[in-house]
Structure 1
């Protein structure tokens, strides 16, 4: 009995101590959040400063309000976290800030899509029109970072660094072998010769049709990549192609020889060069402000059109991530939440136009249709302009096609007009791997339709194929209506085929090639606005709300992103298998990874 009371007492003490620790952690988080919120004070920028641009984390559409990062928890560096929205705004602000003399583009392992990089590159080109300088430096130039840096007035590389110019490749991970080993069959119902999203589940390599489309869009993106460098560096595009094709540039000296960089220097030499450019004594520290800190700097020289005091508003609505039913979260597009947002904006008299920023590979076809309907209704009340990001394909294109006008970057991935459904047959897995069998009683022939413990019957497959066919017919019909084309024509360029923005312009899937700012100007013109304020939607969740919602999941995802970097895409690809089962999908072939 004495031993029993010892155990009880020890357990009670443990519970009390654990509770005390948890209470302490919660209060620490609350205090940290409050301190973080109150700590966003205006940043003072000294005269003769440079704006430091370096990107060491994946670039999302908007700067995330992630309390785990904002508080520097779990070893995550909050200084690295900035979204495309703030990057573009800060480069634009620096253009007219007398205290900013130029930009230093420091080595970055750029983790962003092609169109995101294009947006930043265009902003840098616009910055140069002010007459201010841009200097770029890296020990290692990846192709992505070099494309961005190629706009600089001067490019330097470490004398013993590494320079990559080898061409693009697109890689798909195939899972059929894994499923075969597990005894799982992916039963596919689809429409679209090029609808390759299901191929990783049923093939071990690309189909001929998929290889054809990947070759076409990869070639289009690569041609644009070489064209941009050619224009910035004054090097013939064919010469660049040949350099890459024979891997002529293997060492920094090669990059200098072929005029892709302007010099071989160490970092301290670059710092001294920047000091000279800013009239700073070599003995003094270089005045600089990081791009994320510059968000909180005020210059007093705002864009005349963007009048913060104006009653006229242009709503910038972000639709980012996979499309799902329900509210979604900060990484997905929830049809219910986005529909509510669009309805609210439609009824708001202050909102004169809507810019829908789409960066989505698609998702649930039903959820896409729900959002499409709200876009259509909103267009009847006020102008709706779509700005496409890295990808606006399949369901992402579905929600965009009803807009008054669609803008895309030349290297945006779009199209993929097609529908598919996946239903796993796990009979062998259950029977042979686990020794589990099933039996049932049903009141109707199709009461157990979709049962994963057995294969589909021919009749069941025919029913599901009919549903998918109907979904594709609806998809092509709404695209035809939105783009003012015949349904037959949309089917001919549909069939699940993926296009780049440049290709999509030629076949009528988009109206113009341009960036976010071009879309905003178009919206203002359609709404006949001279002065307006841009307001972002949906509102980002507060830190308190984020901490309360799926806290453990947020910790896991935040840490995985931080540790895996660009390889997080592969984790996502496998994880998405759960979401595509059983529900008809309008989505891209998982993640398109271009190296």
Structure 2
């Protein structure tokens, strides 16, 4: 039978904790009578630190870290451009070739779909990148020729962290006084999370919006390895260490279910808080509406989740220029 060898790693120990434990043990043994042999093995440096009044004794164990709030992103503020910058922009607009000129009052059309990369894309590479998307929102906020954004939202294959960053830039763009109109033909929780930041949201009558909740799936290969005669050797350190579960198990362990459940509860709780604050409703009302089963797009329009059911060519963007 063939064997699949997996590298083993020893558990990690902090040297400061082990040194502190040794010092505390030696100080306790110093207060009790001990043999000369035991005294000779006792370190002298830690015992000398414990001499003197208790108020002057130095702590040998690591202090507990204070819980500090996580750093938040700085608030986005649209600042007025100086006269020099405005003059440079106007001159650049005058000397621009005809195919690069943009009329004042134009609407920027953006499409979000598929995978979104973390790395900056070149002009010869296909796909979307998070830096370019965020930069487009910032440029459109300062560009005097852009009156608003028409945002097409289609099924996404990115994580919730990227979706949160894009939504934050949509909200920051609205601080410039310009409008954002969304159009979502197909979507789920992640797509609607972005669409809820738009001032108005449209969808076609044949739209498919699936608000079924959040799920996480995992693939396990233990059964396949048994059929081909491969026996994996995995050393598990700790109940919540699941790096080798894909090769050594056929299903999720209770500890993994606990971790993934906590992660889903955190993401879903943030989704409920954001959507409820957007619609001006209580969190319990939004959760009850989603749990009732949302399968018809007409119901979303009736409850105010979608502005209207229109096809793409029926959406009147110029009428929204006063937003």
What TM-score, normalized to structure 2? 0.66
SS in 2 for 1:63: coil
Unaligned runs of 5+ in 1: 1-41, 72-77, 280-595
**Alignment match, 2:109:** 52
State the Cα distance separating 1:43 from its structure 2 match: 4.2
C-alpha contact (below 8 Å) 2:221/2:246 kept by paired residues: yes
Which of 275, 297, 312 is equivalent to 1:252?
297
- Alignment of 1:179 with 2:205, yes or no, is no
Which residue is 2:319 aligned to?
276
Query: Are 1:262 and 2:319 matched, yes or no?
Result: no
Q: Secondary structure of the residue that 2:180 maps to in structure 1?
A: strand
Contact preservation (8 Å) 1:174, 1:201: yes
Distance 1:148 1:43 in 2: 30
Q: Find the aligned partners of 1:103 and 1:111 in 2 and give their Cα distance.
A: 22
Offset, 1:48? 1.3
Q: Paired residue for 1:219? A: 265
1:196 Cα offset (Å): 1.3
8 Å Cα contact 1:84-1:116 kept in structure 2: yes
**Residues 62 and 82 in structure 1, CA contact (< 8 A), matched pair in contact too:** no
Taking the aligned partners of 1:64 and 1:153, their CA distance within structure 2 comes to: 29
The separation in 2 between residues aligned to 1:240 and 1:253, in whole angstroms, is 17
* Bigger proportion of residues as strand: 1
Which of 189, 202, 214 lines up with 1:168 in the alignment?
Answer: 214
**Residues 156, 265 of structure 1: 8 Å contact kept:** yes
**Aligned with residue 242 of structure 2, among 196, 201, 216:** 196
Aligned partners of 2:312 and 2:171: how far apart in 1? 24
Post-superposition shift, 1:97?
0.9
Q: Give the Cα–Cα distance (whole angstroms) in 1 for the partners of residues 158 and 198 of structure 2.
A: 19
Shift of 1:52: 1.5
Match of 2:198, SS state, is: coil
The answer to whether residue 288 in structure 2 is matched with residue 242 in structure 1 is: yes
Which of 100, 118, 122 is the matching residue for 2:168?
Answer: 122
Which of the numbers 159, 168, 180 marks the counterpart of 2:205? 159
1:48 touches 1:99 (CA, 8 Å); kept in 2?
yes
8 Å Cα contact 1:55/1:110 also seen in 2: yes
> What is the RMSD computed on CA atoms of the aligned residues?
2.0
In 2, Cα distance between equivalents of 1:61 and 1:201: 29
Deviation at 1:106, TM superposition (A): 0.8
**The one of 195, 198, 218 aligned to 1:149:** 195
Q: CA deviation at 1:82?
A: 2.6
SS of aligned partner of 1:103: strand
CA gap of 1:204–1:96, structure 2 versus 1, over 3 A, is same
**Alignment partner of 2:277: what SS?**
helix
- Number of the residue aligned with 1:374: none
Corresponding residue for residue 206 of structure 1: 252
Output the CA distance in 2 between the equivalents of 1:235 and 1:141.
Answer: 22
Match of 1:98 in 2: 144
Checking the alignment, whether the CA contact within 8 Å between 2:167 and 2:194 is kept in structure 1 is: yes
Q: Which runs of 5+ in 2 are unaligned?
A: 1-98
Alignment of 1:42-441 (within 5 A): 43-65=100-122, 70=124, 78=126, 81-247=127-293, 249-270=294-315, 273-278=316-321
Aligned-pair CA distance for 1:233: 2.2
**CA–CA separation in structure 2 for the residues paired with 1:193 and 1:261:** 45
| Larger Rg belongs to | 2
Distance in 1 (alpha carbons) for counterparts of 2:227 and 2:111: 44
Structure 2 residue aligned with 1:287: none
